[in-house]
Amino acid sequence: MVYEATATAPVNIACIKYWGKRDTKLILPTNSSLSVTLDQDHLRSTTTSRADESFEKGDRLWLNGKEEVVKPDGRLGVCIKELRNWRSVEEEKDSSLPKLSQWPLRIASYNNFPTAAGLASSASGLAALVASLARLYQLPQNASQLSLIARQGSGSACRSLFGGFVAWREGEKSDGSDSLAEEIEPQSHWPEMHAIICVVSDAKKGTSSTSGMQRTVETSTLLKERLKIVPERMKLISKAIKDKNFEEFAKITMKDSNSFHSVCLDTFPPIFYLNDVSKSIISVIEELNKSNGKIIAAYTFDAGPNAVIYSLKENIPKVLGAINKFFPTSEESKDPFKLTPVDLPENFD
Phi, psi of 202 (to 5 degrees): -105, 20
208: amino acid identity, one letter: S
Site map (CB under 6 A) of ligand 2P0, residues 233-272, x = contact: ----------------------------------------
Told to check if 27 binds ligand 2P0 by CB under 6 A, we report yes
Candidates 20, 155, 163, 171; binder of ligand 2P0 (CB under 6 A) is 155
Among 5, 7, 11, 14, binds ligand 2P0 (CB under 6 A): 14
What does the alpha-carbon distance between residue 182 and residue 169 come to, in Å, rounded to a whole number? 8
Is 210 among the residues that bind ligand 2P0 (CB under 6 A)?
yes
CA triple 41-13-8, angle to 5 deg:
35
CB of 122 to ligand 2P0, least distance (A): 5
Which range, of 92-100, 154-162, 306-314, 333-341, touches ligand 2P0 by CB under 6 A? 154-162
Size of residue set near ligand 2P0 by CB under 6 A:
16
**What's the min distance (Å) between Cβ of 120 and ligand 2P0?**
6
Binding mask 100-139 for ligand 2P0 (x = CB under 6 A): --------------------x-xx----------------
CB of residue 337 to ligand 2P0, shortest distance in Å: 16
Query: Does the footprint of ligand 2P0 cover residue 63 (CB under 6 A)?
Result: no
Does 163 engage in binding with ligand 2P0 (CB under 6 A)? no
Q: What is the spatial distance between Cα 269 and Cα 111, in angstroms, rounded to a whole number?
A: 32
For 68, counting Cβ atoms within 10 Å of its Cβ (0-12 exposed, 13-18 middle, 19+ buried), the class is middle
Least distance in Å: CB of 38 to ligand 2P0? Answer: 12
Choosing from 302, 305, 322, 345, the residue that interacts with ligand 2P0 (CB under 6 A) is: 302
Q: Residue numbers of the site for ligand 2P0 (CB under 6 A)?
A: 14, 17-19, 27, 33, 120, 122-123, 154-156, 209-210, 302-303
